[in-house]
Amino acid sequence: MQSLARALDVDSQALLARALTARIQPHLSAARIAPETLPDCGGLQLFLLNNDFPHDALSPCEMDWALNEPAYWMFCWASGLAQARQILQTPELVRGKSVLDFGTGSGVVAIAAAMAGAARVVACDIDPASLDATAANAALNGVHLELAGDFFLLDERFDVLFAADVLYDRANRDFLPAFLDRADTVWLADSRVKNLQAEHYAQVASVMAETLPDLNEFDEFRRVNFYHGQRG
């Protein structure tokens, strides 16, 4: 695992936490963002929603915002956590390689790749708020990431592409051939898709993981399937 650049001091962490909290408090009055250390991730930290957030006591306006403008970045979803662990436990997947993290969300997978020794990591997400959160989380962990908003504007090829929890929308499966056009190897992690049938992709493992903060999900949504994609 590569040595990290200087991580944020406590005062800088507090400033970023307040800035991220300010993004969501107008919509979720009880929300707070604070740094949390992820379990079994080599000390990796993320700015996440407070554990005591009252999910079951949202007002109609808050529920409407949460459903229609979801801030995915304030959670570490089970598939992202599982994929980050996969990278940190098997750093040879990324060491010395160029990496693209598609649908980065909080940036957890991209950060894990940087921590594991990737030569270059690009975190891609169409949501500008996710890219801001990813930048904050990269600073929190003292790693360097490049940020990109539009996958189709990336006119280069990567050694490895990761994508976690992006197949819940069936329309996103149209990306699967494009992933293989942009990377030599693709790794998917998904807790919603149980038996992906797609050319050049095969399921290789299944692990248990949890979303943080805990959403009390059923066990079926804690089971994350890994799929490996590569053209012959």
What domains sit in the chain, N to C, each tagged with a CATH number? 1-232 (3.40.50.150)
Q: Which of 72, 54, 34 is nearest to 164 (CA)?
A: 72
Cis amide leading into 128 (omega within 30): no
- 3-state secondary structure (DSSP) of residue 139: helix
Question: In b/e form, how buried is each residue of 47-76, taking b as 16+ CB within 10 angstroms?
Answer: bbbeeebeeeebeeebeebbeeeebbbbbb
Report pLDDT for 158. Answer: 98
pTM for this entry: 0.94
Residues 180-204: tens digit of each pLDDT:
999 999 999 999 998 899 999 999 9
- Whether the pLDDT of residue 7 is over 80: the answer is no
At 4 the pLDDT is 41
Q: What angle do CA 68, 73, 76 make, to 5 degrees?
A: 120
* Interatomic CA distance for residues 90 and 115, integer angstroms: 12
User: How do residues 60-97 score in pLDDT, each as one tens digit?
Assistant: 999 899 878 889 999 999 999 999 999 999 999 999 99
Interhelix angle for 108-115 vs 78-89, to 10°?
A: 10
Residue 173: exposure state from Cβ atoms within 10 A (0-12, 13-18, ≥19): middle
Report the DSSP beta bridge partners of residue 183: 158
CA distance 123 to 125: 7
